[in-house]
């Protein structure tokens, strides 16, 4: 799950650089993305 980890790191870095409202929107986007992954019927490698 390298893609998720790197995007998490990017969003963490973005919080330090971007305006707060932009970081908030990014956090919301990440949350929705993670929810979509969890709702998949197929087990996600590295989830546990």
Angle between helix 20-39 and helix 2-17 axes, rounded to 10 deg:
160
Q: Is residue 44 part of a domain?
A: no
Structural domain of 25: 2-39
Position 45 confidence tier, pLDDT thresholds 50, 70, 90? low
Quote the tokens at residue 1.
């799950």
What DSSP string runs through 1-48? -HHHHHHHHHHHHHHHHS-HHHHHHHHHHHHHHHHHHHH-SSPPTT--
More confident residue, 14 or 6: 6
| Domain count of the fold of the chain | 1
Q: Is residue 16 part of a domain?
A: yes
Q: Is residue 21 part of a domain?
A: yes
Q: Is residue 46 part of a domain?
A: no
What is the tens place of the pLDDT at every residue in 24-38?
888 999 999 888 888
Percent of the chain predicted with pLDDT > 70: 58
Position 22 confidence tier, pLDDT thresholds 50, 70, 90? confident
Q: Is residue 14 part of a domain?
A: yes
Burial class (CB in 10 A: 0-12, 13-18, 19+), 17: exposed
Query: Taking the CA atoms of the chain, what radius of gyration do you get in angstroms?
Result: 12
């Amino acid at each position: 799950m390298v893609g998720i980890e790197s995007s998490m790191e990017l969003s963490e870095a973005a919080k330090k650089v971007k305006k707060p409202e932009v970081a908030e929107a990014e956090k919301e986007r990440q949350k929705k993305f993670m929810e979509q992954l969890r709702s998949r019927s197929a087990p996600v490698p590295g989830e546990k």
